[in-house]
Amino acid sequence: MNGLADKRVFISGGCGDIGRAVAARFLTAGAKVVLGDVLQSEEGVRVAEALHSSHALYTPCDVTSASSVENSFRIAEEEWKGIDVAVCCAGTVANEPFLQITEAHWERTLNVNLTGSLRVAQAAARLMMKNAPDERKRRGAVIFTGSWVQSMPWPEGGSYCASKAGQEMLMKVMAQELAPHGITCNVVAPGIVYAGLSRAIYDSDAVFRQRANQTIPLGRLCSAEEVAGAFLYLASIDGTYVTGTTIVVDGGASLVRRDLSSH
């Protein structure tokens, strides 16, 4: 990937498995990275230090709080003098049958996954508007972490699926409005990643594990590292002309797996 050296990257949920994998790839490409997360400062600093780069910085960022998001971007601006790339990686899930979805779980899921993405994207885009356009007239890139279930229903996933579907539409509206200002907006939609929340559920829930194993044509879960490259592509020079779209990294799960043993 090219054009990423010295780019200033903010990752909400940056201390999670996917966030750290994305951060590591950006750092390897020469970028500067701010990890925003809800960890205690000492723990967050340790995560940043574990990336072994002087260009990795931790800042507290609770995406359910507008003031927390604004403060984290203020710190990023003070440290790196602006932001070129924002990755919305903070997320939560509460799997439960539709008739048992509680308002508290519904509201929490949408507040983190959808409204939290709005808060981060707005703060980032406002800073990007201050950037001088590059040789291809881009001022910045906003990338959401979606999910293959944003357009494919998953049992007991009502609140999560709805939050990710809403996030994808938010991205498309942003892409339309921000394109004239040189800001691209896209979604990377992983399949079932053996990391973070999915890993915990996969390891502890036999029903989910069997369902997941039967879903993916490639026959295995994805790693966080396999997802990370899509974020780099969208932020790089190669992705400059890509906006308003979703890159699905799901091992074919959205194809719907068929029994081909007789062929």
Active-site residues, by number, are: 160
From the CB of residue 229, how many other CB atoms can be counted at a distance below 10 Å?
16
Assign 46 to helix, strand or coil. Answer: helix
Q: Which two tokens stand for residue 138?
A: 């881009």
Rounded to whole angstroms, what are the CA distances from 37 to 40, 60, 223? 9, 5, 21
Backbone angles phi, psi at 188, to 5 degrees: -105, 120
